[in-house]
C-alpha cells in the first residue's frame, strides 16, 4: 500500500465544542473516509496551537453556491469512522458561519441529506431550522411498528426520536452519574435500531436565566463511537423528548447544556424545531491529502 501526501487547505471550527475540520468541496479529495479517519484521530490527528484539542469530531465538506439568494451550502459530514451522517446540527451551524464569512450574508440555506435547512447568522451566534422531530418507527428507523417511548433497551430506559439522525434519549436524575462510555455502545448497536442510534442522556437542571426549562445533556455519537462535547441533533432530541413526556410546555424555548456550552432549542407544535448557539473559527492550515492505494 502507498500513501500519497499532497496538501489541502482546511479550516477548523467548533460549535459549543463539537469540532470539525472544514474543507471547501472544490478541493479534490478522492478518499474522503481515509482523510477523515486520519485527521480526526484524537491522538495523531490535526494539531494546532490555536485549538484546544487534537483531532476532530468529523470533516465537513462544504460546497458554496452563491448564485442563489440566500446562498446555499451543500454540506457533507464524513465522520471519524468514515461514515456519512444525514444531519448534524452543530455542523449546520458551522456551515452557516463558514458561508457567512465568505459571502457577507446573514441568511443561508444548508442542503443536507436530511433536507434543506434555513440558517440565520448574528455575529458568532447561529440559528438553524432542524425539521420536525419524529417518533415514527418508519423514519427513525426502528425494527418494529410501534413507537419506542420510555422502554428499556439494553438496560437503559430510552425514548427514540429522529431529529435528522436517530437518538435514544434517556432522562436520568444526573447525566454525570452515568458511565456513558460503558452503557452506550450496547444501546447504540441494539437490534431495535437497524441503522444504529446516537445515545443521549438528559437531566433537568431547573430553569435558565430567562426562566425557561434547562437540561443538562451528554451524547455518545454514532460515527465518532464516543462522547462528544456537544451534539446539536441530540440537544433537539432532548427538548423533543421532554415535550413528548410532558416535562415541558412545547411552546417555550428550552436551554440544553452539553459539556461544551449552552444551546437554545424550540420545538413548536407545527413547524420545524430550531437550534441556536455559538459557532467559532479556530484556525486555517493545510493538511496532508491522505490517499491510500493498494
Ligand atoms: N454532532 C452532530 C451529529 C452527527 C451525526 C451523528 N453522529 C450520527 O451519525 O447520527 C450534531 O451536532 O447533531
Measured in Å, residue 202 CA sits from the centre of ligand 1 at 16
pLDDT above 90 for 263? yes
* Secondary structure (H, E, C), the chain: CEEECCEEEEEEEEECCEEEEEEECCCCCCCHHHHHHHHHCCCCCCCCCCCCCCCCCEEEEEEEECCCCCCEEEEEEECCCCCEECCCHHHHHHHHHHHHHHHCCCEEEEEECCEEEEEEEECCEEEEECCCCECCCCCCCCCCCCCCCCEEECCEEEEEEECCCEEEEEECCCHHHCCHHHHHHHHHCCCCCCCCCEEEEEEEEEECCCCCEEEEEEEEECCCCEEECCCHHHHHHHHHHHHHCCCCCCCCEEEEECCCCCEEEECCCCCCCEEEEECEEEEEEEEECCEEEC
Phi and psi at residue 89, in whole multiples of 5°?
-65, -50
Please tell me the class of the 2-130+279-293 domain.
Answer: alpha beta
Atom 2 of ligand 1 has which residue's CA nearest to it?
A: 88
Kindly list the protein residues whose Cβ atom lies closer than 6 A to any atom of ligand 1. 18, 79, 85, 88-91, 165, 198, 221-224, 228, 231-233
Which entry of 8, 60, 78, 88 is annotated as an active-site residue?
88
Scan for cell 477548523, then name that residue.
Answer: 12
What is the pLDDT at residue 231?
A: 98
How far apart, in whole angstroms, are the C-alpha atoms of residue 95 and residue 97? 6
pLDDT in tens, 98-143: 999 999 999 999 999 999 999 999 999 999 999 999 999 999 999 9
Q: Is 40 a known active-site residue?
A: no
pLDDT above 90 for 293? no
How far apart, in whole angstroms, are the C-alpha atoms of residue 176 and residue 210? 24
What is the pLDDT at residue 249?
A: 75
What is the pLDDT at residue 1?
A: 45
Please state the domain extents for the chain. Answer: 2-130+279-293, 151-270
pLDDT above 90 for 195? yes
What is the pLDDT at residue 2?
A: 46
Q: Is 231 a known active-site residue?
A: yes
Measured in Å, residue 294 CA sits from the centre of ligand 1 at 31
pLDDT above 90 for 292? no
Give the three cell numbers for residue 95: 456551515
Give the three cell numbers for residue 2: 502507498
What atom in ligand 1 is closest to the CA of residue 231? 12
Please compute the mean of the pLDDT values over residues 206-213 and round it to a whole number: 93
What is the pLDDT at residue 106?
A: 98
249 or 39, which is more confident? 39
- How much is the mean pLDDT over the chain? 95
Measured in Å, residue 224 CA sits from the centre of ligand 1 at 9
pLDDT above 80 for 3? no
Exposure of 211 by Cβ count < 10 A (0-12 exposed, 13-18 middle, 19+ buried)?
exposed
Please compute the mean of the pLDDT values over residues 48-73 and round it to a whole number: 95
pLDDT above 80 for 294? no
Scan for cell 470533516, then name that residue.
Answer: 59
Measured in Å, residue 1 CA sits from the centre of ligand 1 at 32
Phi and psi at residue 18, in whole multiples of 5°?
-85, 105
Q: Is it true that 2-130+279-293 and 151-270 share their CATH fold?
A: yes
pLDDT above 80 for 193? yes
Q: Is CATH 3.10.310.10 the right assignment for the domain spanning 151-270? A: yes
What is the pLDDT at residue 290?
A: 73
Residue of 85, 130, 263 to mutate, ligand 1, most atoms within 8 A of C-beta? 85
Amino acid at each position: 500500500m502507498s500513501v500519497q501526501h499532497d496538501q489541502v487547505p482546511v479550516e477548523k471550527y467548533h460549535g459549543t465544542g463539537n469540532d470539525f475540520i472544514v474543507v471547501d468541496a472544490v478541493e479534490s479529495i478522492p478518499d474522503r473516509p481515509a482523510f477523515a479517519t486520519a485527521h480526526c484521530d484524537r491522538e495523531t490527528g490535526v494539531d494546532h496551537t490555536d485549538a484546544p484539542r487534537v483531532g476532530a469530531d468529523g470533516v465537513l465538506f462544504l460546497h458554496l453556491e452563491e448564485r442563489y439568494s440566500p446562498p446555499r451550502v451543500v454540506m457533507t459530514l464524513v465522520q471519524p469512522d468514515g461514515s456519512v451522517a444525514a444531519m448534524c446540527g452543530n455542523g449546520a451551524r458551522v456551515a452557516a458561519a463558514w458561508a457567512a464569512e465568505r459571502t457577507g450574508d446573514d441568511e443561508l440555506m444548508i442542503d443536507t441529506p436530511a433536507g434543506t435547512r434555513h440558517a440565520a447568522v448574528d455575529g458568532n451566534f447561529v440559528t438553524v431550522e432542524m425539521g420536525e422531530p419524529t417518533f415514527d418507527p418508519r423514519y427513525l428507523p426502528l425494527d418494529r411498528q410501534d413507537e419506542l417511548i420510555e422502554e428499556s433497551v439494553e438496560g437503559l430506559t430510552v425514548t427514540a426520536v429522529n431529529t435528522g439522525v436517530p437518538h435514544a434519549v434517556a432522562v436520568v436524575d444526573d447525566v454525570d452519574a452515568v458511565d456513558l462510555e460503558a452503557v452506550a455502545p450496547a444501546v447504540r448497536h441494539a437490534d431495535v435500531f437497524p441503522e444504529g442510534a446516537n445515545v443521549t442522556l438528559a437531566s433537568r437542571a431547573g430553569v435558565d436565566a430567562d426562566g425557561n426549562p434547562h437540561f443538562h445533556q451528554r451524547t455518545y455519537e454514532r460515527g465518532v463511537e464516543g462522547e462528544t462535547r456537544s451534539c446539536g441533533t441530540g440537544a433537539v432530541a432532548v427538548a423533543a423528548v421532554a415535550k413528548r413526556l410532558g416535562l415541558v410546555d412545547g411552546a417555550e424555548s428550552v436551554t440544553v447544556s452539553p459539556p461544551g456550552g449552552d444551546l437554545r432549542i424550540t420545538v413548536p407544535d407545527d413547524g420545524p424545531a430550531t437550534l441556536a448557539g455559538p459557532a467559532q473559527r479556530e484556525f486555517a492550515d493545510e493538511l496532508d491529502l491522505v490517499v491510500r492505494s493498494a
